[in-house]
Structure 1
């Protein structure tokens, strides 16, 4: 993908309230071993705002950073992984309307936790196909509220935080505070989709298989049939491949530019150690960074939240002028995206 002229201005909005790991441990919601494997301090929890309402707040931050008016957007791409507050409805259109993007074409993106990667890819393709076209707004938002979702115990090795992210994606001169998109590469392995599906049955209505989403049940069945070790090995190999392809696309080589960091999906210390860390090390010796300590896994939002940290006006992970970083994203299905950005 030719991304030479494409830039993005990212932002996030996280709830001010949070549930602490120490409290979850004391209440018996997690075990000491699970807390050690995650290594996370807290999870942000929305006390009242729905996921799309949070997305609107993140969108306003991204528009402000980009210096773009909502009325000038050509498209709004909204991604999510879990319930958006209504049963039969388009949250993407809500985000567009509430943001003021009345001339934009809204589209919902359902690629699970790689939703931001899928949306960025579509935005970049649209801009490449229409040189001089108006910017695109990408948003993500998830709220993992009970009783439908147990953010602490519904999945193996993943704790889920509430929050929203956004990015204005445009072409041409890079606005102050935005990042230049140097590469974006995506890979998929569709045959792994059954790790998140009740094999042998399709349900007629939501939650027919149980009162709450239980990813542990489907993963356990998948590991029983196919083995956990081959599954993790495939995750490592695909992560290495997608990162290598993105770095090649961005022009990295023996005498090319150096990466300041590789930011990992926010899936916990054990997953970073066993899957993403070794996969990245196969490709580059750049420092690896996990920024999930105070957010947990943000559903479709990890990628843009990590990009927000790189673009931030201050902070330990802010890119300085001329520096490059790579950001990894992964989602059930499975799909992987690697993005390379530069502060110009």
Structure 2
């Protein structure tokens, strides 16, 4: 989808304390060879801080940075990956209540690790649909401290970190412009992350832990495996990126930095940077390796951190690329049109 005059006016992030990878290795939580291969130095661990509370803290920061009255928001989208709280409870309303987001339409987007892309697309479409829609808040929070998941080894090449993130989209003002966002689903890969377990009763009601490595191995050895191998996935990603760049009116040569899911160096390089024809120096892996795979927040936190440190400036283009179970692939292009007041690149005497 090509976005028209959809601006980013605020970004927020909540990153809890980092736990060094050495700590996990010493306690036998991850194989030392895997830890060395991944290159991940630490992950953020929130302890008993609820996921929605991290989203609230990130949202408050984003709203404050944007100078946005939360009561004037017309849409609030909450992106979740892992369990959020009590059964039957809706986390988006908790964020709405604790940010003072008035009577905005609030909904949860549950689409795995690329849910932020779909939320941005939905929010952009909402803002473009009516001049009465002034601003929207997209936020996410996840705490992977759980007996149902081993954060250090639940999936090859990924170690899960906890975080909250938030984006304020505006039709009026902002320091960045959302130029294009797209996603594609390859449902033939649906069973890759499901494994052999039945659909009922739901997994949360049964003993056992999530193990994406095991379910993927079973899929590769089973009848549902795609005979084309990874070629279909590669072709779909190439087409998606090309379409997103075309809609944004740029080429790959115009891309300043790239944010992919925070995995091992091998995964980021092989799945993102090599297919894009770009060096790892343009990736956000160096930042991502210090926090781990923070659910749907990887790319937004990377953008916030780059702007905070002054590494993105006016005229730069930031490409976000993501993938999630299902199988979903997503891409977005953001153009930096100004320097936010909270950036280190902002002169002290700037108005």
TM-score normalized by the length of structure 2: 0.88
**Structure 1 residue aligned with 2:283:** 288
1:320 counterpart = 2:313: yes
Shift of 1:229: 9.4
**Contact 2:12/2:62 (CA < 8 Å) preserved in 1?**
yes
**Structure 2 residue aligned with 1:204:** 201
**Structure 1 residue aligned with 2:347:** none
Shift of 1:307: 2.3
**In 2, Cα distance between equivalents of 1:268 and 1:228:** 24
1:97 counterpart = 2:97: yes
1:169 counterpart = 2:169: yes
Shift of 1:203: 2.7
**Structure 2 residue aligned with 1:214:** 211
**In 2, Cα distance between equivalents of 1:103 and 1:294:** 38
| 3-state SS, counterpart of residue 158 of structure 2 | coil
The one of 265, 272, 281 aligned to 1:269? 265
What aligned pairs does 1:68-217 form with structure 2 within 5 A after superposition?
68-174=68-174, 178-199=175-196, 201-208=198-205, 210-217=207-214
The one of 216, 240, 248 aligned to 1:250? 248
Shift of 1:18: 2.6
**Structure 1 residue aligned with 2:63:** 63
**In 2, Cα distance between equivalents of 1:200 and 1:53:** 32
**In 1, Cα distance between equivalents of 2:21 and 2:227:** 28
| 3-state SS, counterpart of residue 138 of structure 1 | strand
**In 1, Cα distance between equivalents of 2:142 and 2:229:** 26
**Structure 1 residue aligned with 2:322:** 329
Shift of 1:274: 2.4
Shift of 1:62: 0.8
| 3-state SS, counterpart of residue 296 of structure 1 | coil
1:24 counterpart = 2:49: no
| 3-state SS, counterpart of residue 137 of structure 2 | strand
**In 1, Cα distance between equivalents of 2:227 and 2:291:** 28
**Contact 2:195/2:219 (CA < 8 Å) preserved in 1?**
no
| 3-state SS, counterpart of residue 336 of structure 1 | strand
| 3-state SS, counterpart of residue 40 of structure 2 | coil
TM-score normalized by the length of structure 1: 0.90
**Contact 1:232/1:275 (CA < 8 Å) preserved in 2?**
no
Q: How many pairs are equivalent? A: 334
**In 1, Cα distance between equivalents of 2:307 and 2:185:** 28
For 1:196-216, what per-residue CA distance to the aligned partner results, in whole angstroms no more than 9, with x for missing partners? 113462131434554322222
Shift of 1:43: 0.8
**In 1, Cα distance between equivalents of 2:228 and 2:263:** 19
For 1:140-174, what per-residue CA distance to the aligned partner results, in whole angstroms no more than 9, with x for missing partners? 11100131211001112211000110001111332
**In 1, Cα distance between equivalents of 2:19 and 2:306:** 26
**In 1, Cα distance between equivalents of 2:198 and 2:282:** 44
**In 2, Cα distance between equivalents of 1:86 and 1:231:** 39
| 3-state SS, counterpart of residue 152 of structure 2 | coil
**Structure 1 residue aligned with 2:333:** 340
Give every structure 1 segment of 4 or more consecutive aligned residues whose post-TM-superposition deviation is greater than 6 Å: 283-286
**In 2, Cα distance between equivalents of 1:231 and 1:309:** 36
Shift of 1:246: 1.1
| 3-state SS, counterpart of residue 74 of structure 1 | strand
**Structure 1 residue aligned with 2:344:** none
For 1:275-300, what per-residue CA distance to the aligned partner results, in whole angstroms no more than 9, with x for missing partners? 2222211x899933323111100111
